[in-house]
Amino acid sequence: MPVPFRQSVRVGAYLARQRLARREKFPLIVELEPLFQCNLACAGCGKIQQPDHVLRQRMSVDQAVGAIEESGAPMVSIAGGEPLIHPEIHEIAGELVKRRKFVYLCTNAILMEKKLDRFRPSPYFAWAVHVDGLRERHDASVEREGVFDKAVSAIHAAKERGFRVTTNTTFFTHDSPQTVQSVLDFLNDELKVDQMMISPAYAYEKAPDQDHFLGVQQTRELFSKAFADGRRRKWRLNHTPLFLDFLEGKVDFQCTAWGIPSYSLFGWQRPCYLMADGYAKTYKELLETTDWDSYGRGRDPRCDNCMAHCGYEPTAVLATTRSMKQSMRAVLSR
């Protein structure tokens, strides 16, 4: 199943309410990071370099739910670290589902089969499994053999139990149009996951491997070649057509990082989950105390190579809602 009809309608209504209220900045989806600890140590990771005492901390259920309620966002992506290490993660997800938030639980899937029983299939809940490539490529990316097979097995198990299962794939310089195509063909046609998210890797300053992040030109070349011959239309990609146009270099956008803000153990991260220029206590404070015009490509050198969805998917969504033609395109691509 693609994005459930219920989710499209509720998010569409939320966007319409923001427009009617003439609200210029609002959250679309919150990146919730209730811990930084992980059971892997990928070289391209910018989250697990926190000191030990921070890695041991876990966000409480009340704090996580309170932050999402204060923001008003209709969707939540729970990430980390590895969320399934958090002993109360099913309670956080369950409380958000109860409040009719659409929850994506991002996981490397190592613990997923073991913990499936703690979750219930729901139109408000989806797994988002990290799969960076086919077996050899993925295991090299996460620096551990056998993780790809675990992820595939967990995806099958979750689908058998009626869960909605999506995937999240990050591409680096060792990827080619063929590796992009082969992993998306596999996820779409063989594993038959419900939807797939893709992203060029962001060059985290703290990541140990700095040599394999894509620049803007490389990203455009990679995706325009991978998407050629109409392939893009056959994949169930969980992105607006305009964001995919952006990855291909057919359109360019300004960053609107306030649309996909990040809330972690430290608070609301300024300006996005990729960079940390301080923290705010509330989403309202984040909006009011951040100089948003100083971020984005051409404005801040740290943003120069960024084409990440947290900065540019909200811009694509807003551009879609403002155009009848693009809205129709988005509906027909579902």
Q: Can you read off the two tokens belonging to residue 91?
A: 């309670």
Closer residue to ligand SF4 (CB): 82 or 124: 82
Interface characters, 217-236, with ligand SF4 (x: CB under 6 A): --------------------
d(CA 113, CA 69): 29
Closer residue to ligand SF4 (CB): 172 or 227: 172
Sign of CA dihedral 199, 200, 201, 203: negative
- Give the binding-site size for ligand SF4 (rule: CB under 6 A): 27
From the list 61-69, 115-123, 228-236, 304-312, the region that binds ligand SF4 by CB under 6 A is: 304-312
Task: Report if residue 128 touches ligand SF4, rule: CB under 6 A.
Answer: no
CB neighbourhood size of 237 (10 A): 20
From the list 17-25, 39-47, 53-61, 118-126, the region that binds ligand SF4 by CB under 6 A is: 39-47
3-class secondary structure per residue, the chain: CCCCHHHHHHHHHHHHHHHHCCCCCCCCEEEEECCCCCCCCCCCCCCCCCCHHHHCCCCCHHHHHHHHHHHCCCEEEECCCCHHHCCCHHHHHHHHHHCCCEEEEEECCCCHHHHHHHCCCCCCEEEEEECCCCHHHHHHHHCCCCHHHHHHHHHHHHHHCCCEEEEEEEECCCCCHHHHHHHHHHHHHHCCCCEEEEEECCCCCCCCCCCCCCCHHHHHHHHHHHCCCCHHHHCCECCCHHHHHHHHCCCCCCCCHHHCCEEECCEEEEEECCEEEEEECCHHHHHHHCCHHHCCCCCCHHHCCCCCHHHHHHHHHHHHHCCHHHHHHHHHCC
Task: Report if residue 291 touches ligand SF4, rule: CB under 6 A.
Answer: no
Closer residue to ligand SF4 (CB): 184 or 257: 257
State the first-to-last Cα distance of the chain, in angstroms, to the nearest integer. Answer: 10
Closer residue to ligand SF4 (CB): 42 or 96: 42
- Report the residue from 3, 14, 19, 40 that binds ligand SF4 according to the rule CB under 6 A: 40
Residue 87's Cβ-count burial label (10 Å; 0-12, 13-18, 19+) is exposed
Task: Report if residue 247 touches ligand SF4, rule: CB under 6 A.
Answer: no
From the list 70-78, 87-95, 237-245, 302-310, the region that binds ligand SF4 by CB under 6 A is: 302-310
The number of C-alpha atoms within 13 Å of 270 and in the hemisphere containing its C-beta is 18
Interface characters, 169-188, with ligand SF4 (x: CB under 6 A): --------------------
From the list 18-26, 231-239, 307-315, 321-329, the region that binds ligand SF4 by CB under 6 A is: 307-315
Interface characters, 315-334, with ligand SF4 (x: CB under 6 A): --------------------
Closer residue to ligand SF4 (CB): 64 or 85: 85
Task: Report if residue 80 touches ligand SF4, rule: CB under 6 A.
Answer: yes
Task: Report if residue 200 touches ligand SF4, rule: CB under 6 A.
Answer: no
Closer residue to ligand SF4 (CB): 302 or 329: 302
From the list 24-32, 54-62, 75-83, 210-218, the region that binds ligand SF4 by CB under 6 A is: 75-83
From the list 66-74, 190-198, 245-253, 270-278, the region that binds ligand SF4 by CB under 6 A is: 270-278
Residue nearest to ligand SF4 (CB): 311
Binding site for ligand SF4 (CB under 6 A): 38, 40-42, 45, 47-48, 80-82, 108, 130, 142, 255, 257, 271-272, 274-275, 295-297, 303, 306, 308, 310-311
